[in-house]
Chain A
């Protein structure tokens, strides 16, 4: 650890806090349908889209209609993405002349991108044409993000409205999010990335003759346009196999800082949107505080562990200590320009959110540092979280927490003036329980089948961690991996595909039911007996709920993977 490392982490935190209010205020205006500085440019496009698609802007939807619209939209996205991959050989923008994507891989990848997961069983530069990257993957980087955000807005309306039967219009929320929020930021970020060195062209790969006379084929493409929305929409699917560790995706420490901020920007700002829409910004900051505390816990584990280096190297006449001339630490699977602090920070951020981009190989993290991303995802990616999904996941935990608090004092629980009754608690718990069912259930299946264990690159507890990480990442719609796992075989492609579907839609539908039920309730005025939900006690209670639910559910599995590996490593055992 170095002072500079901690200063870089502090700089990130300060910049993030500065983003929350302006972006939160802007997004609130967008979703309330108010005028913004981009309205003169974008409003005609927006109206044109509604006319073309037969959307009545002023017609609001019941929660069931809202959820059904979202499901049809996802199905249409799945079909178009699947078709593009299967037909890419006969379509334009394919200078590398790549053939059709296999059926099980195309199935997995289509689910992966419509669910905002961006799990990649394939090596992009040898599998996907430029057309699939642009008109397929980039599109779903926008639309799956817009879908998640729309759902979060619908849930917020459930809290904000009284005795209402509708929660908004899915098509309007999704369209406005894409046009007014995602697209403008993506344009600016993409051009910034090009300036810093990220390629943006449609040429065939470059053939170079190296200084020593060898041939080097340099893969390029329309990288920057995808990179921008990949981070801002917490998608995380790389244009290249190495993702944000590839120097063409993330060429400098400055692009790295911007990428980390883009990951958290929407998730953090949505807490402010929440506060503004329910007309009490303190409630939003309380949610922000819960997320902030859990985020810092992750960083305070990952950075020191990684900076300590691999103890097995100590006896080998290797210098792993930090100095003015090197960062030292566990440099296996790291890039020199990022060093340890920025790699540890990126790892924590990308798994707090459901991003899943990586700037170092998570498979090579030291055991306890590698456990942090797993825990982050297992808790439901509610620490700022995926765009939209982070907020509605966190609100599920908040509902459970006020229910627990209500049980303790023997009062009907309330949150933001809404009575929390059996239906809301049942639906929230149902959503939360889907995660362990899929994560642990599929892992158990994979580790007893030869087709499961055969895909692991590492032996011993680390091999188990590879499988556990895979289903955790897929269910949590994260998309990062312990990438030694060779997952591009039908068994893994199909089971991971199902896990992604479960983690996305079986979580969303109960939460939409909560939104509908809440919207229909009255708002009771606060009284002396009301439990305040903007103070330290509430923050502590929700954190406790999250850690108890997550800790009790996943501790046994973690003990078999990273925890036992940690002790083995310090005992000098190798596998």
Chain B
């Protein structure tokens, strides 16, 4: 029985070298050569500065930008490092709200947001993705319904016609893969970048 100890220790060491160093480092080498953009986080630069990643949502709050999902991520308080405070879209600390369906704080939060958003565009009910927190807290996308709902606010803030903004949204809807896989969505950062470009043009 004790003669099984030597292979146990040596196998851990040898297989760590193979699966824990050779494998990930080889994948890193190949990825950096073949897919450098994706391997480094699909970063977007504007005027030479990194403004984010097309896969990671941002915390848009201004009326002139489309807003993403609610984000429940938190971070350290810059004023007091011993405290944790709400920090939406903290891409170094992902996670969801984890409220159960009967949680009072959830229902109160949804009630409040539905009221605020309802006042912004009273003509239609609020799409559910705009009043619910994403699983990652970093969801880069909203539904087409969620984007179209925000058109009146964005158009007004930017002094553009609603048709113009709606057209931009429609152009940014990504459908299902092969018309079958996934769900239609709108990437909020890409849409807002296009919106900024429209303003300049």
Residues of A at the B interface (CB closer than 8 Å) are 4, 7-8, 11, 45, 49, 52-55, 64-65, 68-69, 72-73, 75-77, 80, 123, 125-126, 134-136, 138-139, 142-143, 171, 174-175, 178, 183, 186-187, 190-191, 194-203, 205-212, 214, 216-220, 222, 224-226, 229, 240-242, 245-248, 251-254, 256-257, 309-310, 312-313, 316-320, 323-339, 342, 358-361, 363-367, 370, 457-462, 465, 482-484, 565, 568-569, 573-575
Contact = CB atoms under 8 A, between A and B. Distances in A.
B86 interface: no
B70 to A, nearest CB: 9
Contact of B38 (A194, A327, A457): A194
B61 to A, nearest CB: 7
Contacts of B50: 206-209
A482 B98 contact: yes
Interface in B91-125: 91-104, 106-107, 110-111, 114, 118, 124-125
B20 A135 contact: yes
Nearest to A135: B20
B85 interface: no
Interface stretch (B139-147, B150-158, B159-167): B139-147
B183 A54 contact: no
B30 A191 contact: yes
A197 B145 contact: no
A459 B43 CA distance: 40
13 contacts: A72-B4, A187-B27, A212-B65, A216-B58, A224-B31, A226-B24, A242-B137, A248-B56, A319-B127, A359-B135, A459-B104, A565-B100, A574-B107
Contacts of B103: 458-459, 462, 574-575
A330 B125 CA distance: 16
Contacts of A365: 101
B99 A363 contact: yes
A4 B180 CA distance: 7
A175 to B, nearest CB: 7
A367 B52 contact: no
Nearest to B54: A197
A253 B24 contact: no
Nearest to A329: B128
Q: Which 5 A-B pairs give the minimum distances between C-beta atoms?
A: A253-B182, A462-B100, A484-B98, A245-B135, A339-B183
Contacts, number: 396
B183 A336 contact: yes
B137 A337 contact: no
A225 B89 contact: no
Contact of B139 (A200, A318, A329, A335): A335
A329 B148 CA distance: 18
Contacts of B30: 191
B12 A335 contact: no
Given A183-B18, A216-B90, 4 more contacts: A4-B176, A212-B60, A252-B177, A326-B144
Given A142-B15, A216-B91, A331 B55 contact: no
B11 A73 contact: yes
Contact of B138 (A139, A202, A242, A333): A242
Contacts of B94: 125, 219, 240-242, 246
Contacts of B96: 242, 245, 333, 361, 363-364, 483
B98 A218 contact: no
Contact of A323 (B56, B133, B145): B145
A309 B53 contact: no
A568 B34 CA distance: 54
A385 B183 CA distance: 28
Contact of B132 (A45, A212, A312, A334): A334
B136 A190 contact: no
B146 A253 contact: no
A231 B17 CA distance: 21
Contacts of A359: 135
Contacts of B102: 312, 367, 460-462, 565, 568-569, 573-575
B77 interface: no
A574 B104 contact: yes
A331 B35 contact: no
Nearest to B147: A325
Contacts of A178: 15, 18-19
Contact of B98 (A72, A135, A333): A333
Nearest to A369: B101
Contact of B177 (A253, A334, A460, A483): A253
Interface in B26-58: 26-28, 30-32, 34-35, 38-43, 49-53, 55-58
A190 B23 CA distance: 10
A175 B19 CA distance: 12
A254 B181 contact: yes
A208 B56 CA distance: 11
Contacts of B192: 211
A226 to B, nearest CB: 7
B60 A326 contact: no
A195 B38 contact: yes
A364 B97 contact: yes
Given A142-B19, A218-B41, A212 B61 contact: yes
Contact of B62 (A126, A212, A224): A212
B146 A199 contact: no
A358 to B, nearest CB: 7
A316 B111 contact: yes
B93 A134 contact: no
B146 to A, nearest CB: 7
A353 B186 CA distance: 32
B183 A338 contact: yes
A351 B90 CA distance: 28
B10 A139 contact: no
Contact of B14 (A52, A138, A201, A370): A52
A238 B180 CA distance: 27
A245 B32 CA distance: 24
Contact of A220 (B41, B90, B138): B41
A363 B100 contact: yes
Nearest to B53: A218
A565 B103 CA distance: 10
B24 A222 contact: yes
Given A72-B8, A191-B31, A573-B102, A319 B145 contact: yes
Nearest to A200: B31
Given A49-B11, A212-B62, A241 B95 contact: yes
B7 A318 contact: no
Contacts of B127: 318-319, 325-326
Nearest to B27: A225
A211 B51 contact: yes
A207 B151 CA distance: 30
